Amino acid sequence: MTTRLYSHHLTAGAPLKLWDSHLPFEPQAMDQLRNVAQLPFIHGHIAGMPDVHWGQGATIGSVIATKGAIIPAAVGVDIGCGMMAVRTTARADQLPDNLHAMRTAIEKAVPHGRTDNGGRGDRGAWHNVPEAQAQAWSMMAAEYDAIIEKHPRAKAFNTANHLGSLGTGNHFIEVCLDESDALWVMLHSGSRGVGNRFGSYFIELAKQDMRKWFVNLPDADLGYFPEGTDHFDDYWAAVSWAQRYARVNRELMMAAVLRAITPFLPAFAVTEEAVNCHHNYVSREAHFGENVLVTRKGAVRARVGDLGIIPGSMGTGSFIVEGLGNPASFNSCSHGAGRKMSRGAAKKSISLADHAAAMTGIEARLDKDVIDESPAAYKDIGAVMAAQSDLVTIRHRLRQVVNVKG
pLDDT at residue 312 above 70? yes
Q: What is the pLDDT of residue 398?
A: 97
Q: Which helix (H) or strand (E) holds 349?
A: helix 343-349
Q: What is the pLDDT of residue 121?
A: 79
Q: What is the pLDDT of residue 29?
A: 95
Q: What is the pLDDT of residue 274?
A: 67
Query: For the whole model, what pTM was predicted?
Result: 0.96
Q: Is 231 labeled as catalytic in the residue annotation?
A: no
Residue 6 β-bridge partners: none
Report the alpha-carbon distance of residue 309 to residue 398 in Å, rounded: 10
pLDDT at residue 117 above 80? no
Q: One of 162, 279, 335, 355 is an active-site residue; which one? A: 335
Phi/psi for 360 (5° steps) reads -55, 130
Over residues 256-283, the pLDDT tens digits come to 999 999 999 999 999 977 689 999 999 9
pLDDT at residue 119 above 80? no
pLDDT at residue 2 above 80? no
Instruction: Give the mean pLDDT of 39-52.
Output: 97
Over residues 96-114, the pLDDT tens digits come to 999 999 999 999 999 999 9
**Rounded mean pLDDT of the chain?**
96
Q: CB within 8 A of 116, min separation 6: which ones?
A: 122, 123
Q: Place 57 in a pLDDT band, splitting at 50, 70 and 90.
A: confident
Q: For strand 172-177 and strand 182-189, is the pairing parallel, antiparallel, or unpaired?
A: antiparallel
Within 168-268, residue ranges assigned H as helices are: 192-212, 230-261
pLDDT at residue 6 above 90? yes
Q: What is the pLDDT of residue 173?
A: 98
Task: Calculate the CA dihedral of residues 52, 320, 188, 172 and round it to 10 degrees.
Answer: 100
Question: Residue 138 carries which side chain, given as an amino acid letter?
Answer: S
Residue 405: closest CA among 113, 110, 90, 38: 113
Instruction: Give the mean pLDDT of 143-164.
Output: 97
Domains in the chain with CATH codes: 28-299 (3.90.1860.10)
Measured in whole angstroms, the distance separating CA 38 from the mean position of its chain's CA atoms is: 26
Over residues 194-232, the pLDDT tens digits come to 999 999 999 999 999 999 999 999 999 999 999 999 999
pLDDT at residue 1 above 50? no
Coil, helix or strand at residue 139: coil
Instruction: Give the mean pLDDT of 305-326.
Output: 96
Q: What is the pLDDT of residue 98?
A: 97
**DSSP class of 2:** P
> What percentage of the chain has pLDDT greater than the value 70?
99
The DSSP annotation for 358-385 comes to: HTTTSB---SGGGGGGSGGGB--HHHHH
Q: Where are the beta strands (DSSP E) in 39-113?
A: 42-53, 60-66, 69-70, 82-91
Task: Please measure the distance between the N-terminal and C-terminal CA atoms of the chain and give it in whole angstroms.
Answer: 44
Q: CB within 8 A of 294, min separation 6: which ones?
A: 63, 64, 65, 66, 282, 283, 284, 285, 287, 330
Q: CB within 8 A of 37, min separation 6: which ones?
A: 11, 12, 13, 14, 15, 16, 46
Q: What is the pLDDT of residue 35?
A: 97
Q: CB within 8 A of 174, min separation 6: which ones?
A: 185, 186, 187, 314, 318, 398, 400, 402, 403, 404
Instruction: Give the mean pLDDT of 121-127.
Output: 91
Report the alpha-carbon distance of residue 37 to residue 179 in Å, rounded: 41
Buried b (16+ CB within 10 A) or exposed e, 194-206: bbbbbbbbbbebb
Give the Å distances, CA to CA, from 144 to 138, 197, 238, 239, 363. 10, 12, 8, 11, 39
pLDDT at residue 293 above 90? yes
Instruction: Give the mean pLDDT of 132-160.
Output: 97
